[in-house]
Amino acid sequence: MWYSIRGANRHLRKVFPMKKADIKAVVENRFRELGAKQLELYPSGICWTMNGEFFKVSTLTDFWVLEWTDNHSYAANYCFEDISPMPYDISEQEIIWQVDKLLL
C-alpha cells in the first residue's frame, strides 16, 4: 500500500484500484489538455492524434495500457504499439505523468 499527495492541501490518501472508466477519463482529459484531437477510426474506435502520431488507451482485465503509432493506416486498423502495461492501483498524478511522458 502506498500514498499519494493530492491538491494544494497536500492531504495524504490511500491509493485504491481505480475503475476502468476513471482511468480512461483521466487519460483522455490529459490528451485534450495537451492539445491532442479526438477522432474516430474504423474499426479502431476513438483515438487521439497529435503531431502526426496516434494514441489510444485500452483497459484490460488485469491492467491498462497506453498505445501509440505514427502510421494513420495502422491506427485505423487497431495496430498500435503498447507503451507499457500499468496497474489499476495507480494515482491520478501517476497517470498524468505517464501521458505527459508519451506526448511531450
CB hemisphere CA count around 41 (13 angstroms): 19
Label residue 78 left, alpha or beta by phi (over 0 means left) and psi (-120 to 50 means alpha): left
* Residues linked to residue 68 through DSSP beta bridges, in sequence order: 55, 81
Number of structural domains the chain divides into: 1
* Residues of the domain holding 59: 16-26+34-103
- pTM, rounded to two decimals: 0.80
Amino acid identity of residue 104, one-letter, is L
CB atoms within 10 A of CB 34: 15
Q: Is residue 8 part of a domain?
A: no
Say if 3 falls within a structural domain.
Answer: no
**pLDDT above 60: residue 57:** yes
Assigned domain for 11 exists: no
* Residue 33 confidence (pLDDT) above 90: yes
Predicted pLDDT of residue 6: 46
**Highest mean pLDDT: which range of 59-63, 73-77, 87-91:** 73-77
